[in-house]
């Protein structure tokens, strides 16, 4: 890769490069009156719509590892994780502010790759990158994105709102992101061993990764389910509650139940496990169901809906009914394939502050 030091073009030179890379996203948000170049971005909200705002922080060595993460994919993922939060409110993303803290070892080309990924993803989702902030970093790369979306008041969906008797649904398949992460961690170990022993990191290891391509993509290049939100709007369906699966199916279901003051029962046999996940779990001597229940970073939508309303989306192959909402006294349970009940509150998901 060619190498141009950031110090050679300075902060403002770098912002100019960033501005030209995100320029193609600007047409996406019709309400955006001023993008990069002034002290603030200026946005004219659409009449009658509510604005939703979210922010996500991505920190080197906490949320990603540059040894196994191409910068283009990291840029795209940084956008997608925010879009996923907007989708969880049943809203549409409109624009984003992107702040970065960059280590001095980074080249101009590396930042360009990062923004190429962000710009590509933003265009795909139909949102504009409208501004941000740039700083140096004495430790690793930090990316902070704030995103604004819009939604009609009658479509807005919270985590609260689930009622006993309603169906519990999930989009897409689960377990793939956890499988992808395990494989990347294994790959990193192999890479580090090669470096330690002063051996070249041979192509064979990477070539083997090809057969795992799909789950690695689930980890490195997640796609927020804006298609499902558009489907709800098109079919005039409003989930009674919704969350995106960032911590794991089980912990995120618990968020819905806690905020809605309900219990839930899910059926193991109905959980849509990513087709490659079982094979990979067997290979790594791990458990695909555990990945599907507690693996984070899936970015699928978990939602509840009254039975009558579900009819309008029952043909949708990307949506699975995995259980139902119950009274709070019944707890949050998984019925396994033998009909045994497992208390989901005893399973652990990812928590930044637990050891
Ligand atoms: P200020 O000194 O007011 O913070 P800056 O010089 O940091 O202004 O930013 C100039 C313009 O460039 C602003 O419109 C800002 O939103 C935009 N900008 C700065 N850094 C970034 C970035 N990393 N990504 C996108 N836009 C940025
Ligand atoms: Mg600034």
E runs forming strands in 218-268: 241-244, 263-267
Eight-class DSSP state of 64: B
Cα 175 versus chain centre, distance = 14
Asked whether residue 206 is assigned to any structural domain, the reply reads no
Instruction: For residues 108 and 220, state if they share a domain.
Output: no
Instruction: For residues 129 and 233, state if they share a domain.
Output: no
The reported pLDDT for the residue numbered 351 is 61
The reported pLDDT for the residue numbered 355 is 55
Instruction: For residues 239 and 317, state if they share a domain.
Output: yes
Residue 298: which domain range? Answer: 167-185+211-346
Asked whether residue 48 is assigned to any structural domain, the reply reads yes
Instruction: For residues 70 and 172, state if they share a domain.
Output: no
Instruction: For residues 303 and 260, state if they share a domain.
Output: yes
Instruction: For residues 83 and 46, state if they share a domain.
Output: yes
Cα distance between residue 274 and residue 266, in whole Å: 17
Cα distance between residue 308 and residue 155, in whole Å: 17
pLDDT digits (tens, 9 = 90+) for 260-317: 999 999 999 999 999 999 999 999 999 999 999 999 999 999 999 999 999 999 999 9
Instruction: For residues 180 and 243, state if they share a domain.
Output: yes
Q: What is the pTM of this model?
A: 0.94
pLDDT digits (tens, 9 = 90+) for 206-226: 556 778 899 999 999 999 999
Span from the CA of 17 to the centroid of ligand 1 (angstroms)? 12
Q: Whose CA is nearest to atom 10 of ligand 1?
A: 37
pLDDT > 70 fraction of the chain, expressed in percent and rounded: 95
| Residue 170, Ramachandran bin (φ over 0: left; ψ between -120 and 50: alpha; else beta) | beta
Contact 65, 187 (CB under 8 A): no
The minimum-distance atom of ligand 1 relative to the CA of 36 is 14
Q: Above 90 in pLDDT, residue 346?
A: no
The minimum-distance atom of ligand 1 relative to the CA of 133 is 20
- The count of domains in the chain is 2
Q: Whose CA is nearest to atom 27 of ligand 1?
A: 132
For tokens 């922010």, name the residue: 55
Q: Above 90 in pLDDT, residue 21?
A: yes
Q: What is the mean pLDDT of residues 255-261?
A: 98
Query: What is the rounded average pLDDT for all residues in the chain?
Result: 93
Asked whether residue 281 is assigned to any structural domain, the reply reads yes
CA dihedral 256, 260, 265, 267 (to 10 degrees): -30
Instruction: For residues 135 and 171, state if they share a domain.
Output: no
**CATH for 113:** 3.30.1330.10
């Amino acid at each position: 890769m060619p190498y141009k030091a950031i110090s050679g073009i300075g902060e403002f030179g770098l912002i100019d490069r960033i501005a030209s890379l995100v320029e193609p996203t600007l047409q996406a948000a019709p309400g955006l009156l001023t993008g990069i170049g002034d002290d603030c971005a200026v946005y004219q909200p659409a009449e009658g719509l509510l604005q939703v705002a979210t922010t996500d922080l991505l920190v080197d060595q906490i949320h990603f590892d540059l040894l196994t993460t191409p910068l283009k994919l990291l840029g795209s993922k940084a956008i997608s994780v925010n879009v996923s939060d907007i989708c969880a409110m049943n809203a549409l993303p409109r624009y984003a502010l992107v702040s970065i803290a960059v280590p001095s070892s980074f080249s101009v080309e590396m930042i360009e790759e990062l923004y190429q990924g962000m710009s590509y993803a933003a265009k795909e989702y139909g949102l504009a990158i409208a501004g941000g902030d740039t700083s140096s970093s004495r430790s690793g790369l930090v990316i902070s994105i704030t995103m604004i979306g819009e939604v009609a008041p009658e479509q807005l969906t919270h985590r609260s709102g689930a009622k006993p008797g309603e169906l519990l649904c999930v989009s897409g398949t689960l377990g793939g992101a956890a499988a992808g992460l395990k494989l990347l961690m294994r790959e990193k170990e192999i890479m580090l061993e090669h470096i330690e022993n002063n051996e070249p990191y041979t192509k064979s290891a990477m070539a083997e990764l090809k057969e795992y391509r799909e789950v690695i993509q689930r980890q490195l290049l997640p796609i927020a389910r804006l298609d499902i939100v558009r489907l709800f709007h098109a079919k005039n369906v409003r989930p009674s509650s919704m969350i995106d699966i960032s911590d794991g199916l089980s912990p995120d279901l618990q968020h819905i139940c806690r905020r809605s003051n309900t219990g839930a029962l899910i059926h193991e046999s109905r959980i849509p496990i990513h087709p490659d996940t079982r094979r990979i779990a067997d290979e790594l001597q791990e458990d695909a169901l555990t990945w599907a229940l507690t693996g984070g970073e899936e970015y699928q939508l978990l939602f509840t809906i009254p039975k009558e309303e579900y009819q309008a989306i029952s043909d949708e192959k990307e949506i699975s009914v995995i259980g139902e909402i119950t009274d709070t006294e019944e707890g949050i349970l998984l019925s396994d394939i033998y009909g045994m009940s497992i208390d989901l509150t005893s399973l652990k998901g990812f928590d930044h502050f637990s050891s």
